Amino acid sequence: MAFADYRLRVPLRVRWAEVDMQGVVFNGHYLTYCDVAVTEYWRAIGLRYPQDMAAFGTDTFVRKATIEYFAGAVYDDELFICARTAQLGRSSLRFVLELFRQSETDRPLIGAELIYVNADPVQKKSQPWPEKIRALIRAYEAIPPLENDAPR
């Protein structure tokens, strides 16, 4: 995806403690950046996490994460971590995320995909997204209802 296609672009600066001896951000820390983006995503669509989810008797859990590393972010880099909903399923949500240098938004440093499942907080069994949350996501992304997002 292109940088311009993301409505959510979260600014971030690389911390000293995140950089390893290869001089680049340690590979696992990019998932922390992605998580920061997800936090901001909920805020951006108008959902307070975790309070609002809890009010719906629901919570979200990462089911799968995939990251491709194209180039390393270095100490003090100013970045944008971008995220958007690529697919909204009955109880799942697939985020696509990319990390860009603020000075170089034509090609990402990393590309990631996070698949979340909506589930009940105790048994952690998947359950449909509350309709209110679906509506917030659709409105934010300005997407029509997706195929697998049909009335149940």
Residue listed under structure tokens 């696509």: 96
CA distance 84 to 46: 15
Q: How far is the CB of 101 from a copy of itself (least distance, A)?
A: 16
79 neighbors 12 (Cβ within 8 angstroms): yes
> Which residue in the set 32, 91, 126, 127 belongs to the binding site for a copy of itself (CB under 8 A)?
32
Would you say 44 or 143 has its CB closer to a copy of itself? 44
12: which residues sit within 8 A by CB, 6+ positions away? 33, 36, 78, 79, 80, 81
Binding-site size for a copy of itself (CB under 8 A) equals: 33
> Which residue in the set 3, 7, 29, 143 belongs to the binding site for a copy of itself (CB under 8 A)?
29
Judged by CB under 8 A, the chain residues 42 through 101 that form the site for a copy of itself are 49-50, 59, 61-69, 75-76
